[in-house]
Structure 1
Amino acid sequence: MNDVLKQLSKIGIVPVIKIDDVDKAIPLAKALCNGGLPCAEITFRTAQGEEAIRRVAKELPEMLVGAGTVLTVDQVDRAVAAGAKFIVSPGLNPKVVKHCIDIGIPVAPGCSSPSDIEAALEMGLTTVKFFPAEQLGGVNFIKALAGPYVNVTFMPTGGVNASNLLDYLSFNKILCCGGTWMVKADLINEGKFDEIERLTRQAVQSMLGFELMHVGINGKNEDEAVKIAKMFETMFGFEHKVGNSSVFAAKCIEVMKTPYVGDNGHIAIGTNFIERAVAYFERNGFAFDMDTAKYDAKGNMIAVYFKDQIGGFGVHLVQKK
């Protein structure tokens, strides 16, 4: 997969922006970055789109900015010259797609039928935009399309919002989702960048879905671990269960048979999408001990510890089931 598409996948949500006042492009982009989404699809729906891309690409090089609603080869060239790192179109225009491929810019054309997808595959693409997503049948229609096209991933846009975001992202053929609910035109035009940042942060937190899963206690040996777990069972009715390396009291307390990560023990935080969560934390300056990472039989990461302890506790992310 192209590196740009990999980055979009790790971010998960792509704000789709219509700029009416180019002077609002930079504060808008900063609000998105501060809220946890360092990417944007700035559309060519207005004459200010090209200049907005240019300013954001120059002032915020850490932001992954692309051009949307690209309808012509000329718009592709103007977008790339302005600094766009990817191109998105509402439909599949063979001339536009071929030109993007020829100049080496990732492109996601809008596809809404098997015929569209086969045309995209014929041109060498395996990631397409699905637009307008909700009006065409939403995630259920995407699942139906994905059946015969097992190597295709989708970027649904159109009707995706805070209430249905997880329905889309929970399907493993969804690369990322495009959305406008955190960047509504009235919020941008009225300069409500604090509200945009709040809605952006809310969207990221909803996507990642962090919650406390269990607390770990370091036991000296198996006998002590069992004893500790049984004490929680006696006190609170948390039934203990002996495992290979630890003893659980219900699902919320894990007692290690031998001391493990963390001076005092560990804390497990669940997340909806562990690889997106890892990318999110790394973008914010946190580091992971990848030697502690665990994977399932399909090679998907299911757990990993942060490098630094908090209050003497190791902290690790756990993929929710």
Structure 2
Amino acid sequence: MLINMNDIFCKIGSIGIIPVVKLSSAELAYDLGKALLKGSIPVAEITFRTDAAEESIRILSKEFSDLLVGAGTVTTTEQVKKAKAAGASFIVTPGLNPKVVAFCQEVGIPIIPGVNTPSLVEEALEMGLEVLKFFPAEASGGVKTLKALDGPYEGKASFIPTGGVNTKNLAEYLACSNVFAVGGSWMVPSEAVEACDFKTVERLCHEARLLSLGFDLLHVGINGSNAEESLANAKLLSEMFGMPAKEGDSSIFVGTIFEIIKSKGRGTNGHIALSTLSVERALAWLSTFGIHPIKETIKQEKGKITLAYLDKEVMGFSLHLSKK
């Protein structure tokens, strides 16, 4: 089986979340796969912490072509062999084992090893690895440590924090510029999986995916017919709501909520601006609705998209995304 490493990492990055799953029985795998896909998180890390891991990976890989299946808690080359033969597309290890890394590179399967110190990061980089598991995340200093690592290794290493990541700190982790994705098990709780309560798994996955995007309303842009009309309406809104008006070359902002355009801009009536933790991940999510960016509107900074208008109007308003 040939594995395109770039495609694997691109897909993981576009999803932003890796559910870490411990299965006591391979009989649970099929329903788990359906729940993950319905919950909009088409990736899973099946941990080698039970005897059911190998067969679970085989079932998920065979039955769900749209699901990216990886093997986690891999500590030996023998487990790598079993995982790859079962159809795993990537390997995740709790630590940095040079023997396991070398074997994965030899057989051509992507590996995401665990690191939590600068020395381990440098050792991984020396091995040609760029996407690394930051583990155990919270116990290793969490967001503070990740921000400290960003200085010396900016642009060289990206991290997938795992261990203590949950709904309360998910957004904070994903806001770090060097975080590639996060790993966790809160959206696939063992008690729900064991009870075959896959509706709960589906709901938690969907909530986690949306939470990872962090959508917030920035402002509403309203198209005016001409500068005079726009100035008059901006003044009225300013007086009505006690918000300061600030005039620019092409528009007037009233507080941070309203942008009055001096002439007809994008959208029949105007635009709605939304912020997100990652424009790239947001675009991947919106593509499932058949919505895509307008190419000429895309702006980038340091290789990441900072702004993009969408090819969809809602009630006469165009939509645009901005990175938080």
- TM > 0.5: yes
Opposite residue 217 of structure 1, the aligned amino acid is I
Distance 2:218 2:122 in 1: 43
1:2–1:106: 8 Å Cα contact kept in structure 2?
A: no
Question: What's 2:236 paired with?
Answer: 231
Which 5+ residue runs of structure 2 have no aligned equivalent?
A: none
Q: 1:136 to 1:300 in 2, by over 3 A?
A: closer
Question: What's 1:34 paired with?
Answer: 38
Q: Which of residues 150, 158, 163 is equivalent to 1:153?
A: 158
Question: What's 2:89 paired with?
Answer: 85
Pairing 1:182–2:187 present:
yes
Q: 1:287 to 1:101 in 2, by over 3 A?
A: same
Opposite residue 169 of structure 1, the aligned amino acid is L
Q: Which of residues 69, 72, 89 is equivalent to 1:68?
A: 72
Deviation at 1:143, TM superposition (A): 3.0
Question: What's 1:173 paired with?
Answer: 178
Opposite residue 253 of structure 1, the aligned amino acid is F
Q: 1:62 to 1:262 in 2, by over 3 A?
A: same
Q: Secondary structure at the match of 2:152?
A: coil
Opposite residue 290 of structure 1, the aligned amino acid is K
Distance 2:300 2:305 in 1: 4
The CA deviation string for residues 113-143 of structure 1, in whole angstroms up to 9 with x for no partner, is 3332232222211222122121222222233
The CA deviation string for residues 86-125 of structure 1, in whole angstroms up to 9 with x for no partner, is 1101112212101111222110111233332232222211
Q: 1:72 to 1:184 in 2, by over 3 A?
A: same
1:161–1:179: 8 Å Cα contact kept in structure 2?
A: yes
Distance 2:107 2:294 in 1: 38
Which 5+ residue runs of structure 1 have no aligned equivalent?
A: none
Question: What's 1:256 paired with?
Answer: 261
Question: What's 2:104 paired with?
Answer: 100
Q: Which of residues 309, 314, 320 is equivalent to 2:313?
A: 309
2:146–2:176: 8 Å Cα contact kept in structure 1?
A: no
Q: Secondary structure at the match of 1:155?
A: strand
Q: Which of residues 217, 235, 251 is equivalent to 1:246?
A: 251
Question: What's 1:205 paired with?
Answer: 210
The CA deviation string for residues 223-279 of structure 1, in whole angstroms up to 9 with x for no partner, is 222122112123222322111221112111111122122112211222222221111
Q: Secondary structure at the match of 2:253?
A: strand
Q: Secondary structure at the match of 1:318?
A: strand
Q: Secondary structure at the match of 1:2?
A: helix
TM-score by length of 2: 0.92
Q: 1:170 to 1:4 in 2, by over 3 A?
A: same
Pairing 1:295–2:300 present:
yes
Deviation at 1:299, TM superposition (A): 4.5
The CA deviation string for residues 158-191 of structure 1, in whole angstroms up to 9 with x for no partner, is 1111111122211111111110111121110001
Identical counterparts, % of pairs: 48
Question: What's 2:272 paired with?
Answer: 267
